[in-house]
Structure 1
């Protein structure tokens, strides 16, 4: 009788400790492009990629839909493009439980333009340096719209809003590189490496002048023997200048995010630990 009473009491305490909506893990978020979300076959294909790559049970994942309107709020001001509701295919899965470093796994068989390194560079421009992101599409897609979903996923998982000017700067970086790859045929990985080198030099020397950034890009273009046009260089300079100009907001967001992730990682509470304690406690009576 004593054993049963203590067991019941422990279960009551465990129930009180469980947060509402415990069936989902807020550190796991999928953002579906609205075209993908509206098609059950498309959605199944996307889910299959996420499960295969991450080995995560998607039944416990928070899901959101990224609409054409959300993408257009960013893209129209950068590229002038406007997407319809049947063009938002790219989807992303964020696993913030895996948060020691920032890693992006891209389905190269479906995402045609944006590479994992490009996503990583843009996310770091937004102050994001941890988490594992997976990106795919049910059919061929550039992958540009996925960045909006990725940033939305981080906001959902952390309950921290990324400043709008930071989102725009990171998105501009993705769209600019995507345009150059599509129009100039330059190797995407080479371009991404070039952008990282330039951003590092600009940040280290705190360069904000447009012409100075253009000169830095030209130097790296020549050193790396990359063939891009003067227009490409000007557009890259505009993009990197934007990133540099929002560093104050980036650093503030990055500090908030780091504090949140560190406090979560260092927390002494663990449901698995509590369950193990309960089992051993009951078995030991």
Structure 2
């Protein structure tokens, strides 16, 4: 009888501790574009993709809505674009349970411009090097706005805010690559490889001079036989220079989330330890 009484008491304690809206897995967050979230058919399409790709019960994941206002805060100063509430379609799932290396799986049937490698490159520019990200949309979309949702997901899971300067630099990188693909018709994956090569050399040599970055880009453009315009090269140099200039903020962010991303843990509420305690406590009576 005493064990039953304590077991009931323990369950009451659990009920008191679980916060409203508690997710069974605090390491998984979905960010829905507000257009997608507001349309039940669109949301169902997105959820089906996430469920099929991850094998998860999507109902156990946390969720947030990314609004046009949130996207415009980033895109406005980069592209000059202003999105309406009926244009935010891209959605993303971030899973930190699978965090040995950063992976991005893109629904290529819906995301038309931004590739997985482009997201990886931009996220690494922001100091994010772990987790598995899935990106989709209910209808065709470029995927540019998804980056805001992805970074928001990492903030939600880790409870650490990404500096605005870092968000701007990562978003500018995505936008610049998308514009080059659109303007020059260059293969997106080849462009992404080029950007990675340039960023690695710029980082290794700690280059901050704009003209030097332009020369490095030109060298890789010739080596890889990629046909892009001088304007594209200038824009790419500006983007990479911006990434290089915010490395202090990137390093600060990486210090804050280092243990969380490396160990697959988050500051979110977890029942595992509590249930273990309850079990040992009851068994010990």
Report the TM-score when normalising by structure 1.
Answer: 0.91
Match of 1:134 in 2: 134
| Greater mean alpha carbon deviation, residues 103-112 or residues 81-90 | 81-90
Within 2, Cα distance between the matches of 1:162 and 1:129? Answer: 14
Report the TM-score when normalising by structure 2.
Answer: 0.91
- For the residue of structure 2 that corresponds to 1:92, the secondary structure is strand
* Change beyond 3 A, Cα 1:10–1:82: closer
* Change beyond 3 A, Cα 1:281–1:33: same
Match of 2:55 in 1: 55
Match of 2:168 in 1: 168
Shift of 1:63: 1.4
Match of 1:87 in 2: 87
Within 2, Cα distance between the matches of 1:179 and 1:137? Answer: 20
* Change beyond 3 A, Cα 1:140–1:253: same
Q: Could you give the per-residue CA deviations for residues 96-132 of structure 1, whole angstroms, max 9, x where no partner exists? A: 2222221111000000000000000000000001111
In structure 2, stretches of 5+ residues that fail to align are none
User: Is residue 70 of structure 2 the alignment partner of residue 70 of structure 1?
Assistant: yes
Determine if contact 1:10/1:278 at 8 Å carries over to the other structure.
Answer: yes
User: Is residue 232 of structure 2 the alignment partner of residue 226 of structure 1?
Assistant: no
| Greater mean alpha carbon deviation, residues 255-264 or residues 211-220 | 255-264
Aligned Cα RMSD in Å? 2.4
Match of 2:44 in 1: 44
Within 1, Cα distance between the matches of 2:265 and 2:259? Answer: 10
Match of 1:23 in 2: 22
- For the residue of structure 2 that corresponds to 1:31, the secondary structure is strand
- For the residue of structure 1 that corresponds to 2:83, the secondary structure is coil
Shift of 1:216: 0.2
Q: Tell me the number of residue pairs that the alignment of Structure 1 and Structure 2 aligns.
A: 283
* Change beyond 3 A, Cα 1:124–1:10: same
Match of 1:188 in 2: 188
- For the residue of structure 2 that corresponds to 1:56, the secondary structure is coil
- For the residue of structure 1 that corresponds to 2:97, the secondary structure is coil
Match of 1:235 in 2: 235
| Greater mean alpha carbon deviation, residues 34-43 or residues 170-179 | 34-43
Match of 1:144 in 2: 144
Match of 1:252 in 2: 252
Q: Could you give the per-residue CA deviations for residues 119-177 of structure 1, whole angstroms, max 9, x where no partner exists? A: 00000000001111110000000000000000111111111110000000000000000
Determine if contact 1:26/1:156 at 8 Å carries over to the other structure.
Answer: no
Within 1, Cα distance between the matches of 2:264 and 2:48? Answer: 29
| Greater mean alpha carbon deviation, residues 252-261 or residues 198-207 | 252-261
Within 2, Cα distance between the matches of 1:58 and 1:283? Answer: 34
Within 2, Cα distance between the matches of 1:44 and 1:15? Answer: 30
| Greater mean alpha carbon deviation, residues 181-190 or residues 253-262 | 253-262
* Change beyond 3 A, Cα 1:15–1:125: same
